[in-house]
Amino acid sequence: MRKYLNYEGVNMSNKRVTVNEFGAATKEMFGTLDVTKANMEAVSATYKICIPSKCKYAEKISENPVVLRLPVTEDVVAPSKVVAETILKPVAPAPVTETAVEMPSPVSERTSAATLDATISFIPKVDTAFVPWGNIADIKRILKSRLFFPVYLTGMSGNGKTFGIEQTCALLGREMIRVNFTAETDEDDLFGGFRLVNGETVFQYGPVVEAMMRGAVLLLDEIDLGSHKIMALQSVLEGKGYFIKKRAEWVEPAEGFTIIATANTKGKGSDDGRFIGTNVLNEAFLDRFSVTMYQPYPTEAIEKKILVKAAEGFGIESEALGKFIPNLTMWGDIIRKTFEEGGVDEIVSTRRLVDILKSFSIFGDRGKAIKMAIERFDDETRESFMSLYEKIDAGVGMEDVATEMNAEEVKIEEVDADEDF
């Protein structure tokens, strides 16, 4: 089934035509297949025909003004105006008698479908603070191939999963449309639904359909927070089209379309309760991802580069920093290793370290920046983490600091055990 677009001011009762038929009429009227949106509307109004939606997402050959090249699949020969009007002119409806019952027209003719402006770019802005690492090289190769290759990227929070995908798209000039999942995300949120706009009922395409039409990268962020309703994505994850039931419309993915999902779990739920709200995802759903990638926290050396770039972006001079960045990365690394060994229940992410630098750029106080970053932790953990940083800042050796921290955690656990009795 073909898709037809309703530009503002275009009558949806106009006759539906193929891209080639629309191209023939356009070529006769303007002598070219390179046209503006206004040109297409003029063709629609002159010949009483709908504009096929593929024309909206045609190749852009000029920016100012925006000129699109109609995607005809064969050489079109412009018909004479008389022939065009005869072939393309809509058939007049039969007169309604007194006994006749007027049937409602199809949804696609009764309502328009609102799409995002094709001239709006969804290519993310390049962030000069970005440091490529981890899975980025593999993701870059996948996106450069322009093949449909869905990826499930998992890892702890705050380690740069989403930011890395966004910046890879930015550097490659790829459009990216992001969907943030919650337990309430449903089919309408993903594929589109009816909305009331200026007193009229309009069907608005959802982000999945927009990404499919544009050949963009669809980022399904925090997908393990979604409910069973995400099963509606099954056919899309197979690289196939999707049938929008409410419009009786079939949407095919354009070349270059692919999917990357991010999650804090591997779709098996959160055993330790750390990521409350995450769900066990259907195995058939997970199996439709071509690969699963795990992203750990960066190494201490990589994290230093990330923090140096961040500090530059925040306008912090190197003289003011001193040993702040090396101390922060050592602090974060010790805490993470202790967390992995079960010594502490909290962790300091790379994002948290960047936030500490941002706080420092605002308040100019290292201790205050750290205290504000760990304020949400319980008293024992907060005091332990602060004490750890103070020892690192004082030049205590890493092994001695780690040993002292583990001993402190054992002491805390013993106190907690005594309190239980």
User: Is there a domain that residue 110 lies in?
Assistant: no
Range of the structural domain that residue 377 is part of: 300-420
C-alpha dihedral, 363 to 369 to 371 to 372, nearest 10°: 80
Across the 421 residues of the chain, what is the mean pLDDT of every consecutive 10-residue run?
Answer: 43 71 80 80 78 78 75 61 45 45 40 64 95 95 98 96 98 97 95 89 94 97 95 96 92 97 93 83 96 96 96 92 95 96 94 97 96 96 96 78 55 42 27
Q: Do the beta carbons of residue 189 and residue 206 sit within 8 Å?
A: yes
Cα 387 from Cα 273, distance rounded (Å): 27
Residue after which a domain boundary falls, among 270, 295, 320: 295
- Same domain for 153 and 16: no
Q: Do the beta carbons of residue 263 and residue 274 sit within 8 Å?
A: no
- Same domain for 389 and 316: yes
What pTM does this model have?
0.69
> What pLDDT is stored for residue 404 in this prediction?
59
User: Is there a domain that residue 264 lies in?
Assistant: yes
- Same domain for 146 and 279: yes
- Same domain for 278 and 152: yes
- Same domain for 313 and 288: no
- Same domain for 308 and 401: yes
> What pLDDT is stored for residue 103 in this prediction?
41
Q: Which of 237, 185, 230 is nearest to 211 (CA)?
A: 237
- Same domain for 19 and 155: no
198 alpha-carbon distance from chain centroid: 28
- Same domain for 236 and 270: yes
- Same domain for 259 and 146: yes
- Same domain for 66 and 188: no
> What pLDDT is stored for residue 128 in this prediction?
94
303 alpha-carbon distance from chain centroid: 25
Cα 389 from Cα 356, distance rounded (Å): 13
3-state secondary structure of 305: helix
Helix (H) or strand (E) holding 179: strand 176-180
Residue after which a domain boundary falls, among 70, 93, 116: 93
Residue after which a domain boundary falls, among 64, 93, 122: 93
> What pLDDT is stored for residue 219 in this prediction?
98
- Same domain for 155 and 49: no
User: Is there a domain that residue 169 lies in?
Assistant: yes
Cα 306 from Cα 274, distance rounded (Å): 26
Instruction: Please name the residues in contact with 42: beta carbons below 8 A apart, sequence gap of 6 or more.
Output: 29
User: Is there a domain that residue 101 lies in?
Assistant: no
User: Is there a domain that residue 125 lies in?
Assistant: no
User: Is there a domain that residue 108 lies in?
Assistant: no
- Same domain for 258 and 314: no
User: Is there a domain that residue 387 lies in?
Assistant: yes
> What pLDDT is stored for residue 74 in this prediction?
63
Cα 46 from Cα 37, distance rounded (Å): 14
